[in-house]
Amino acid sequence: MNKIKTKLFLLIFAALIPNMSLAVNFASIEYDVPIDYSKIDKNALADQANLLFNHFEQITDEEYRKKYIQALLNRYAVLSVMDPSDPFYFTRLGILYDEMGNDTLAMSNFFKATNLVPNYQYASFSFGNYYYKRGYYRKALYQYKLAAGIVSPYSYQRFMKMGSVYEKLGNFKLALDAYKSAYQEQNGLELYNKILLLEDLNSKNMLYH
């Protein structure tokens, strides 16, 4: 998706919500006037948000990623109000606030998602990423365990992060198990060499149990 398509998304969004006035300051969303939700096509808005988010996930340049956050926050904030029983929208908001480094709002939305559906794998996985990035490895591991069974591509990422956490905590046996599971999902030379190294350490009784 190029920049023209992104601008087109924003124009469509504005047309869908004619009575809505948003003030987004990357910390909160305030509504200057009441929103007439009857004017909003929820499915169309969700499709736009998810398409834009899928592209957002593929961007590696941090500055370029920031350009998408406001538009995504607008959409998912509205969707979370329209359907407050769906943990998916709160999870996406948590991910976006995490991206911005807003710990308070990121945690608030992750907790909303997990309180709505305690075994919601996507929220647990995303919450695990939140803790992992901040160095809270035991909390991250707890969330990753709750995300067991999450589908690809998140399943591969989950196993890799768990392997990394176990390495950091000194449990190389479980790190090896996690990396082997990741390799079954997506093989690669670097991961293969890491597995060989851990297996070699294990054969020499150098692994910590």
How far apart, in Å, are the Cα atoms of 111 and each of 77, 104, 150, 157, 204? Answer: 16, 11, 18, 21, 44
Largest CA distance in the chain: 69
Q: Is 32 helix (H, G, I), strand (E, B) or coil?
A: coil
* pTM, full prediction: 0.80
How far apart, in Å, are the Cα atoms of 193 and each of 8, 133, 180, 196? Answer: 45, 24, 11, 5
In angstroms, the CA 4 to CA 7 distance is 5
Q: Is the pLDDT of residue 162 over 50?
A: yes
- R_g of the chain, CA atoms, integer Å: 20
Tell me what pLDDT residue 206 has. Answer: 56
What is the per-residue pLDDT across 65-116, written as a single tens digit (0 to 9) for each?
988 999 999 999 999 999 999 999 999 999 999 999 999 999 999 999 999 9
